[in-house]
Structures are given as structure tokens and as C-alpha cells.
Amino acid sequence: MTGIMYILILLSLPFATVTGQSTDGSVCRDKIDNCATYGQTTCQKFQQWAQQNCRAFCQFCVAPPTTPVPCVDQLGNCQDYGATVCQNPLYAPWVMENCRYHCRQCSDDQLAIVDSKTTPPPCVDQINNCSRYGQVTCMNAKYKRWAQTNCRYFCRFCTQEQLLIADSKTTTTTTLATPLKPCADKIPHCDVYNDDVCTNEKYRSWAEENCPVYCMLCSTSGFVTIPPRK
């Protein structure tokens, strides 16, 4: 009974005292209820729209304290989507719904807590010849799982922090031990081959090895990273 009374009293209080007020006297709250799904970037990028619709979420006014959205991934395989999905604004609502932590779309405080509890797998390759399988293995859906277990570092599936540490340790040794293969055609007349040789997945490793320039498979950082041309 007392509980019901309490709720009734709360309900009868003027709304503003419960929700807090901004300086101009209007209630500081969002016009739409899914501002979080658009992410914090929306607040700056589409400021005018955000001023209209997500004032509280974007902290354009002082809102009453709210419980933050938990900093978790709803999907178990956010890693599979890589980092691109986190940067593409088209996916922002999906990211906020499914891979908040993976894409680091939480407050700094939340991230610090979750980071301290999460131990990512070590940033190492389980086999010593990942590079022989090529970047293709990291990107091809068929091999990705295998690569996540075996070539985590080579495929750069590690967290940003891990990569910073791993890179600082390996840059010099890697350059000494296994210099990056210069991107050059091994055979003099790649153009005698049918174009198929560059585009067909079947010939990919042969093309990487023998005609990377002709097949436009070189990247600035060393060897093959760009997908085959259509």
C-alpha cells in the first residue's frame, strides 16, 4: 500500500522536477527515444539535427542522471566484422545495438572498467608462416576463423593497444629477420597471360608471387593487401 502511495505522489509531482531543467526553462530531454543508436558522433556531425532531437543525449543541456547503456557486445562474433564496420556511419545504429564494446562506443569510464575485465587473446601468430598464406586469408570469409586463431597478429585482428605494443617490439626485428618483399614482378612478361590470372582466386597466390605489379596487388606498406580487381 505504501509503495502505491509513493508512486502516486511521484506521478503527481510536476514533470520538470523529476526530469531536470535546462537554462531556458524547458525540460532537458530527447525528442526521440533512440538517440543512443545514432552514437555520439552524430552530436557534432549533425549538430542542428541533434539540437532538435537529442539534446539530453548530446549533453547540450543538463539532464538528470541516467543509467548508462551497458558497454557490452550483444553479438559474440563482433571481431568478425573487423574495424571498418565501426567507422562506417551507415552501420552506426547497428553497431550501437550489437557491438558497442568492440567498436569502443562507450564512455571512457565504461571502457576502462570493461577493458580491465577483458583479456583479449594474445596478439601472436600460432604458426610462423602466416605471411605465406597472404592477406587473402585474413579477409576471405572462408578462412577468417582459421586466421583469427592462427594469424592474429599477421592479420591485425588484435586490439589497438595490443598492436601498438606488438608493433613496437617487432618493427626492427621483423625488418631484420624478414624484410618486406619488394613489390615487383618476378617474370618479365606478365602481360602474356590472360587477365584471368589476376582476377581468378585460383591463381591468386601465383599472381602475388609472380606478377603483383602487373596485377595491381601491391600496397604502399609492402606486399599484397588490396583485393583483386574486377
Ligand X SMILES: *[C@@H]1O[C@H](CO)[C@@H](O)[C@H](O)[C@H]1NC(C)=O
- In whole angstroms, how close is the CB of 179 to ligand X at the nearest point? 18
Would you say 38 or 133 has its CB closer to ligand X? 133
Contact call for residues 63 and 29 (beta carbons, < 8 A): yes
Would you say 129 or 160 has its CB closer to ligand X? 129
Would you say 132 or 186 has its CB closer to ligand X? 132
Would you say 107 or 129 has its CB closer to ligand X? 129
195: amino acid identity, one letter = D
What is the C-alpha to C-alpha distance for residues 224 and 24, in angstroms, rounded to an integer?
58
- In whole angstroms, how close is the CB of 212 to ligand X at the nearest point? 17
- In whole angstroms, how close is the CB of 129 to ligand X at the nearest point? 4
CA distances from 14 to 9, 20, 113 (A): 10, 11, 37
- In whole angstroms, how close is the CB of 128 to ligand X at the nearest point? 7
- Chain contacts with ligand X (rule: CB under 6 A): 127, 129, 132-133
DSSP state of 191: G
CA distances from 75 to 100, 159, 182 (A): 10, 17, 40
